[in-house]
Amino acid sequence: MEIITSVREMQALARKWRQGGKSTGFVPTMGYLHEGHLTLMRKARTENEITVASIFVNPLQFGVGEDYEEYPRDLERDAPLAEAAGVDYLFVPTVREMYPRGYQTFVEVTEVTRGLCGASRPGHFRGVTTVVMKLFNIVKPDRAYFGWKDAQQVQVIRRMVEDLNLDVEIIPVPIVREADGLALSSRNVYLEPEERKAALVLSRSLKRAEELVAQGERQPEVIKEQVKQMIEAEPLAQIDYVELVALPDLTPLEQLQGQALLALAVRIGKTRLIDNTVLEVEG
């Protein structure tokens, strides 16, 4: 595996593969790799001739007072993990390399970013779409892999790809969980042992919602209320949002039908965690 830090060098390599007709799979990440990221990388490995991953903690997608400074960074730990997962090139640019002096161009998706994390983290998705657009232009992948843990991010990126006619296939990958249900996240390292236990309330409340739907419940408000009550019963948890919206547009729902996304953002102590499940009703 080769580590590339220069945009120009990465672009030159990508141009060479394109001209040689080699397919490229790309996995953008913010690093501190875990089994969720590695699953994306292994999938990219099996479906493409060249596998590229990036590690870049993108300052543009963090709001004021968020954890940009504390976000875990450890390239010495990450590089061998990426290599073992089959990554050929690990792109690790600096902030100055991605946003040189005078930088002033941004990409904004307007509708599907309004609710959920877009509402609770203003400017977040503008930062995500801007960096992902840049990364796509640098790596020129045929396929790009995104985790369903960030379900809204998947819909936002898909919208950007469709609206801007980008020649890349977006491949969503199911959420990877710990044996006890907690969705893997780089931010789980912030959790103290007691908080780690309390964090299980996210996946448990999603399971409860799935049971309610299996029992015939179709009222979004009833499902959301049950989820909220479960989370509020956990003393260390504080709800940021609990939303039940239609897929793929993430618009409000009057009645559960087709595919809906039940998405949560919950603070456990100072750590903001997200999780979700797709609720599917036939007919």
Ligand X SMILES: Nc1ncnc2c1ncn2[C@@H]1O[C@H](COP(=O)(O)OP(=O)(O)OP(=O)(O)O)[C@@H](O)[C@H]1O
Q: Which does 129 bind (CB under 5 to 8 A by kind): ligand PAF, ligand X, ligand BAL, none?
A: none
Tell me which stretch binds ligand X (CB under 6 A): 4-12, 75-83, 97-105, 181-189: 181-189
**Contacting ligand X (CB under 6 A), which of 78, 88, 142, 150?**
150
User: Does residue number 134 form part of the binding site for ligand X (CB under 6 A)?
Assistant: no
Q: Please give the single-letter amino acid code of residue 226.
A: Q
Q: Decide if 37 is catalytic.
A: yes
Applying CB under 6 A, the site for ligand PAF has a residue count of 10
Contact (CB, 8 A) for 20 and 12: no
Q: Which does 131 bind (CB under 5 to 8 A by kind): ligand PAF, ligand X, ligand BAL, none?
A: ligand PAF
User: Does residue number 206 form part of the binding site for ligand X (CB under 6 A)?
Assistant: no
Tell me which stretch binds ligand X (CB under 6 A): 93-101, 122-130, 170-178, 254-262: 170-178
Q: Please give the single-letter amino acid code of residue 239.
A: I
The contact mask relative to ligand PAF for 128-147 (x = CB under 6 A, - = no) is x--xx---------------
Phi, psi dihedrals of residue 277, rounded to the nearest 5°: -145, 155
User: Does residue number 150 form part of the binding site for ligand PAF (CB under 6 A)?
Assistant: yes
Contact (CB, 8 A) for 199 and 191: yes
Tell me which stretch binds ligand X (CB under 6 A): 43-51, 124-132, 173-181, 228-236: 173-181
Contact (CB, 8 A) for 256 and 213: yes
Q: Sheet harboring 258-268: ordered strands across?
A: 237-246, 258-268, 271-281
User: Does residue number 173 form part of the binding site for ligand X (CB under 6 A)?
Assistant: yes
* Smaller CB separation from ligand BAL, 157 or 245: 157
Q: In the chain, what is the straight-line distance between the N-terminal and C-terminal CA atoms, in Å?
A: 49
* Smaller CB separation from ligand BAL, 153 or 223: 153
- Give the shortest CB-27-to-ligand PAF separation in angstroms: 9
Given the residues 4, 13, 29, 37, the one annotated as active site: 37
> Which residues participate in catalysis according to the annotation?
37
Binding site for ligand PAF (CB under 6 A): 28-30, 58, 61, 128, 131-132, 150, 153
